[in-house]
Amino acid sequence: MNNLLNSLHWQDWLSVPSGRYGVIYGGISAERDISLMSGQQILMCLQQIGVDAFGIDLGSDGQQVVSQLQDHSMDGAFIAVHGRGGEDGRLQALLEMRGIPYTGSGVLASSLGMNKLMTKQIWQSQGLVTPAYCSLTASSNWHQVVDELGLPLVVKPVHQGSSLGISLVENQFDLADAYHVAAVYDHQVMAEKYIDGDEYTVAILAGQALPAIRLQTENRFYDLQAKYYSTTTRYLFDNAMTAAQQVNMEGDCLQAFTALDCRSWGRVDLIRDLQGRNWLLEVNTVPGMTDHSLMPIAALQVGLDFSQLVLVILNQALTNRERVYD
C-alpha cells in the first residue's frame, strides 16, 4: 500500500468480516445487464478473499423480490442493482424492514439521487452550480424550450442511469424525437442546457473524495458505448487544473454528495467548462463495478485494488449498521 493509502486510513476498513453476505444484482431496470456484470464481479472477488458470500439475482420480472430476500439468511447485503428497483430506495427499504445492513446510501438519499430533477433542485437550494433545465412532455412547446435553454441541449430520462435514453439535440426539429427516445425509459423526461467542456467524475468513498477522472471519448459525449464497451475511452488523472482547482472540484462533488444525505460510496458526474467553472450533472449511489467502471479506477489511484475496494464498501455498511433503524 502506498503512502496515500496509509494517510487516508483505508486499512481500518480492510478486515475480512465474519458472517454470511448476499450480493444482490440483476433486477428489472434497463440497466440489468450492467448490474449482472457488476454483481458477478463483486461476488467473485468477495469469495476469492475469503468472505462467505452468495449471489441473489432478483430476476427480470420484479414479482419475486420480497420472497427472494426472505429465502436467504444474511448478515449484510452488498447492493449491486443499478437503476430503478435497486438504486432508488425500494430495495434499501425492504432490507431495512428485515434489519439487514446494506451497502451505500439510505432510502431517502437513494430515492433523491435517482431523480435528476429533485437532485438539481436540492443542489440549487444549497448554492451548488448545475446546468439550467426544464421538464418535458409530449405536448411541450419545443420552440419555447429552445428559447429557454438554448442549443445544443441534452434530453434525458429523469430516473435512469448508464446514459440510457440520452440524446444531444442540436436543432429544434430533433427535440420531439429525442423526447420519445427518453420516454421509452421513463414517464418523466427533462431537457438540460449543454455545457461545452471536459467531462469529469469524482468518486466518493468513506467520506473522502477520490482523485477526479477526466473522461476522454471519441463520441460526442460519455454515452453507454463509451462507458461500457469502447476500447478507446480514456480515463485520465493528468489534466490542466492546478492542485487548488482539483481540490475545489473534489470539494464541490463531496458537498453535492452530502447535500442529498448520500453515504459510504458513490460517484458525482460533472463538466468543467471552458472558463474553468464546475457544473454538477448527477449523482450515482450504486456505481458500476465492472472492468470499465470508474469507481474501481479511482480507487486504484489511491492504492485500493478491486478486492480492497469491495471490503471498504462492505465494512462501511457493517460499521454504520445503526442506519438500518434511522
Most confident of 21-35, 229-243, 264-278: 264-278
CA distance 257 to 113: 9
Catalytic position from the list 267, 272, 278, 315: 267
| Residue 35 designated active-site | no
Task: Note the pLDDT of residue 291.
Answer: 73
| Residue 282 designated active-site | yes
| Residue 96 designated active-site | no
| Residue 288 designated active-site | yes
Q: pLDDT tens digits, residue range 21-52?
A: 999 999 888 788 889 999 999 999 999 999 99
- Residue ranges and CATH numbers for the domains of the chain are 3-104 (3.40.50.20), 113-129+196-301 (3.30.470.20), 133-193 (3.30.1490.20)
Q: What is the mean pLDDT of residues 233-250?
A: 87
CB atoms within 10 A of CB 25: 28
User: DSSP 3-state assignment of 216?
Assistant: strand
| Residue 291 designated active-site | no
| Residue 284 designated active-site | yes
Among all chains, which residue has been given the C-alpha cell 467553472?
277
CA distance 301 to 317: 23
Kindly report the backbone phi and psi dihedral angles of residue 208, in degrees, each rounded to the nearest multiple of 5, phi listed first. -115, 140
Task: Note the pLDDT of residue 233.
Answer: 73
Catalytic position from the list 38, 115, 264, 284: 284
| Residue 25 designated active-site | no
| Residue 276 designated active-site | no
Q: pLDDT tens digits, residue range 192-228?
A: 999 999 999 999 999 999 999 998 876 555 555 555 5
CA distance 239 to 220: 19
Catalytic position from the list 162, 167, 278, 293: 162
CA distance 80 to 201: 19
Catalytic position from the list 22, 25, 29, 31: 31
User: DSSP 3-state assignment of 241?
Assistant: coil
Give the residues across from 78 on adjacent strands: 23
